[in-house]
Amino acid sequence: MRVLFAGTPAVAVPSLDALVKAGFDVVAVLTRPDAPVGRKRVLTPSPVAARAAELGIEVIHAAKVDPDAIARISAVKPDVAAIVAYGGLVPPAALGIPRHGWVNLHFSLLPAWRGAAPVQRSVMAGDDVTGAVTFQLEEGLDTGPVFGTLTEGVGPDDTAGELLERLSHSGAVLLAQTLSAIEAGKAAPQPQSGEVTLAPKLTLEDGRLVWTHPALAISRQARGVTPEPGAWTMLDGQRVKLEPVRLRPDVSGLAPGAVSVQGKSVLVGTGSHPVELTRIQPAGKKMMGAADWARGMASAESVVFE
């Protein structure tokens, strides 16, 4: 079966590898154009484009599926298109090109968390279980019938990045199994059922910690925005980046945002009990251990995060 693979970030690479390993004829890869990376803003291929080049697969670069991209997709004559985090909408004119349509690997248990940031929103909401599904792509936002499902527990310390990494590998297996079922004529997609929740793309503001919120909510938020866009707070008018925090229900008496050094621990008050900082990146400096940062302060006890 001739497969067009559409994807862009690193989490899509395991799926591309799984399809190649399973013996599918991946005739082309659709991915977003090279993007500037790092402080020097060097134009760099997407992880999927780089992997496709290593595998000797034709690459179609397109910021969106426009008429030119549609013509190139048509030219490779795919039987099915597999899509994993491509980063753009697929218009109706492209949906009908492969005879088996487009199969999307989505990292949530649809219809929960439809949208661009399902894993991040799941962690931020405090879900105990999430997963991944393969479904038939249609015009609606993640609304198509589901082929297959897998579940994954969300650990109390999981960041969105760690959880997504696990799902990218288990989901790759699910995608290959789904395409095999389609090829064998045994696929039977079922309509989605259950409560719909939305997972819009995260913005920088989603990473700002509000210290009047309860500690558990702050912890979930910090884990959900790690690694991107990252948790942060304000100190003396400058943005300070933070890695996920630890809950410290054994401590009390700190006002929201107030910093206190107790032994080797750097604590911050919240709307409930304090949290313990793990690593911090002050403006213009590198990420460092919280205790190292506190030692460099004239008086950490007078520090209050905004």
Are both 6 and 138 inside the same structural domain?
yes
- Is 188 a member of any domain? no
SS3 percent helix, strand, coil of the chain, rounded to 5, is 30, 25, 45
pLDDT recorded at residue 298: 59
Helix axes 118-125, 160-183, angle to 10 degrees: 130
208 and 179 in one domain?
Answer: no
Whether 198 is covered by a domain: the verdict is no
On whether residue 193 sits in a domain, the answer given is: no
- Predicted confidence (pLDDT) at residue 62 exceeds the cutoff of 80: yes
Q: Are residues 262 and 121 in the same domain?
A: no
Q: Is residue 199 part of a domain?
A: no
Rounded distance between C-alpha atoms, residue 214 and residue 268, angstroms:
12
Taking the CA of residue 64 as centre, how many other CA atoms within 13 Å lie in the half-sphere pointing to its CB?
6
Residue 155: which of 184, 191, 129 has the closest Cα? 129
Q: What angle do CA 270, 249, 254 make, to 5 degrees?
A: 40
Same domain, 242 and 292: yes
What CATH number has the domain bearing residue 248?
3.10.25.10
Residue 4 has pLDDT above 70, yes or no: yes
Mean pLDDT of 20-36: 95
Do 153 and 257 fall into the same domain?
no
Q: 6 with 81: CB under 8 angstroms?
A: yes
Q: What is the mean pLDDT of residues 266-289?
A: 95
**Cα–Cα distance for residue pair 107/102, rounded to 1 Å:** 16
Whole-model pTM: value is 0.94
Contact between residue 80 and residue 3 where contact means Cβ atoms under 8 Å apart: yes
| Measured distance CA(50)–CA(86) in Å, rounded | 14
Count of structural domains within the chain:
2
Whole-number percent of the chain with pLDDT over 90: 90
Instruction: Pick the last residue of a domain from 152, 183, 214.
Output: 183
- For residue 210, being part of any structural domain is answered with yes
User: Is 147:192 a contact under the CB 8 Å cutoff?
Assistant: no
Q: What pLDDT score was predicted for residue 301? A: 64
188 CB-near residues (< 8 Å, 6+ apart): 147
Per the structure, the complete domain to which residue 26 belongs is given by 2-183
User: Is 190 domain-assigned?
Assistant: no
Domain boundary among 149, 183, 217: 183
Give yes or no for residue 287 having a pLDDT over 70. Answer: yes
- Which residue pairs, CB below 8 angstroms and at least 24 apart, start in 42-48? 46/8, 46/9, 47/8, 47/9, 47/10, 47/12, 47/13, 48/5, 48/7, 48/8, 48/9, 48/12, 48/13, 48/16
199 DSSP assignment? -
Let me know if residue 284 belongs to a domain: yes
- How confident is the model over 130-173, as pLDDT tens digits? 999 999 999 999 999 999 999 999 999 999 999 999 999 999 99
Q: Does one domain contain both 82 and 112?
A: yes
Say if residue 178 is in the same domain as residue 254: no
Tokens for 31, please give them.
């991915």
Same domain, 64 and 28: yes
Tell me: do 170 and 231 sit in the same domain.
no
**173 with 219, same domain?**
no
Query: Does residue 129 sit in the same domain as residue 167?
Result: yes
Residue 230 has pLDDT above 70, yes or no: yes
- 194 — alpha (psi -120 to 50), left (phi > 0) or beta? left
Question: Are residues 233 and 268 located together in one domain of the fold?
Answer: yes
- pLDDT, one tens digit per residue, over 35-56 is 888 777 888 999 999 999 999 9
Q: What CATH number does the domain containing 45 carry? A: 3.40.50.170
How many CB atoms neighbour CB 271 within 10 A?
14
